Amino acid sequence: MNIGLTYDLKDDYLQVGYGKEETAELDSIKTIDALDSTLAELGHRVTRIGHLRALATRLLAGERWDLVFNIAEGFHGLGREAQVPALLDAFEIPYTFSDPLVLTLTLHKGMTKHVVRDLGIPTPDFAVVEDERDIQDVRLSFPLFAKPVAEGTSKGITANSKIASQEDLANVCRELLVKYRQPVLVEEFLPGREFTVGIAGTGRKARVLGVSEVLLLDKAEAEVYSYANKAYYEDRVRYHLVDGPIGEEAGQVALAAWRGLGCRDAGRVDVRCAADGSVQFIEVNPLAGLNPVWSDLPILCGFAGISYQQLLQMIVESASERIGKESA
């Protein structure tokens, strides 16, 4: 196929003055090179398109592709991940991964948890703090956990994210509201093991690729998979594949959330154990990182014996099958 590649390149934003944390979700040139070369190895012709504005310019110039492999995160607003897919929908060009509705919903962690809870999938009780006045209305059992409602790559998560008192809750929420200029998700803290679940496919054909446990080492910020722990994972985090009953339960919870939310092609679901050992939904990433060396989904696939090339083949095949059904 003739495949276009849409992405937000970290260096493009760093060069115009944005900071390292602001661009943490965006992709490095190494990721783009890996995607380009691997898709070419699979027999496809790849065109590097880039970000939303580059895509718009090419579309208006009349360029078209059989499929767009979309990993563009966007940069502004709660609908930022949906912007490229929405534009592609308008021009009737098929693309990989989830549609604008799903990407907008899942970027907002509070709205996602409302839907997940309504689906009957276990998730910690929570509240969304829109501004300072909402802090006093939070009626949850301590300890709590707070994070920005619409950030990835653990941005806004630090050792202070685990909260033990009303005073700490107020201080952390105020700090996050000011720094990230968006609501704060507050949920009851789960003290148990944490897993990330890799998933490939869409709807009933979606399947678990593997379940990886996140183990924090001595140098890590304790108890939280924080921004710093992710950024310096070599010395702070170890991952290993999990099977048996706990792996099966984690996979079942993740797959139920993936299907219920309408996610497509491939991604990750994060889950964590409650005090009683039960597995509960934390969040979903339907636009997961695809760097072959340090992104969670390729790492997990490697543990499960799935090569990077095989992962990309699964993604393209899943998207192609959807396209075939839509055009039939």
Residue in the block written with tokens 């710093």: 228
Instruction: Give residue for tokens 């014996």.
Output: 305
Q: What is the predicted pLDDT for the residue at 327?
A: 62
Under a CB-based contact definition with an 8 Å cutoff, are residues 180 and 242 in contact?
A: no
pLDDT above 80 (res 321): yes
Amino acid, res. 195: F
Domain ranges of the chain: 2-95, 125-188, 194-327
What's the pLDDT band for 228 if we cut at 50, 70, 90?
Answer: confident
d(CA 199, CA 31): 20
Task: Tell me the pLDDT tens digit for each residue of 286-302.
Answer: 999 999 999 999 999 99
**Euclidean distance between CA atoms 317 and 169, whole angstroms:** 46
Task: Record the tokens describing residue 136, joined without a space.
Answer: 């006093």
Fold annotation for 125-188: Dna Ligase; domain 1 (3.30.1490)
For 40-85, the pLDDT digits (tens) are 999 999 999 999 999 999 999 999 999 999 999 999 999 999 999 9
CATH topology for the 2-95 domain: Rossmann fold (3.40.50)
Span 294-314, mean pLDDT?
Answer: 96
The reported pLDDT for the residue numbered 96 is 98
Question: What single-letter amino acid sits at 6?
Answer: T
CB distance 282 to 214 below 8 Å:
no
Residue 312 to residues 42, 79, 99, 266, 306: CA-CA distances in angstroms? 9, 25, 18, 9, 10
Length of the chain: 328
CA distance 52 to 84: 6
Q: What is the pLDDT of residue 328?
A: 53
Contact 213, 239 (CB under 8 A): yes
> To the nearest whole percent, how much of the chain has pLDDT over 70?
99
Same fold for the domain at 2-95 and the one at 125-188?
no
* Residue of 223 and 140 predicted with greater confidence: 140
| Amino acid 36: pLDDT | 98
Report whether pLDDT(229) > 80. no
Among candidates 273, 143, 291, which has minimal Cα distance to 230? 291
HEC states along the chain? CEEEEECCEHHHHHCCCCCCCCCCCCECHHHHHHHHHHHHHCCCEEEEEECHHHHHHHHHCCCCCCEEEECCCCCCCCCHHHHHHHHHHHCCCCECCCCHHHHHHHHCHHHHHHHHHHCCCCCCCEEEECCHHHHHHCCCCCCEEEEECCCCCCCCCCHHHEECCHHHHHHHHHHHHHHHCCCEEEEECCCCCEEEEEEECCHHHCEEEEEEEEEECCCCCCCCCCHHHHHCHHHHEEEEECCHHHHHHHHHHHHHHHHHHCCCCEEEEEEEECCCCCEEEEEEECCCCCCCCCCHHHHHHHHCCCCHHHHHHHHHHHHHHHHHHHHC
For residue 204, count CB atoms less than 10 angstroms from its CB and return exposed for 0-12, middle for 13-18, buried for 19 or more.
Answer: exposed
The superfamily (CATH) of domain 194-327 is ATP-grasp fold, B domain (3.30.470.20)
Position 197 scores a pLDDT of 98
Taking each helix axis from N to C end, the angle separating 29-41 and 308-327, rounded to the nearest 10 degrees, works out to 70
Q: Is 56 exposed, middle or buried (0-12, 13-18, 19+ CB in 10 A)?
A: middle
Across the range 195-199, mean pLDDT stands at 97
Sign of CA dihedral 295, 322, 151, 269: negative
Rounded to whole angstroms, how far apart are CA atoms 114 and 121? 10
**Whole-angstrom Cα distance, residue 227 to residue 185?**
16
Place of tokens 């839907």: 115
Residue with the two structure tokens 């563009």:
72
Q: Is the pLDDT of residue 194 over 60?
A: yes
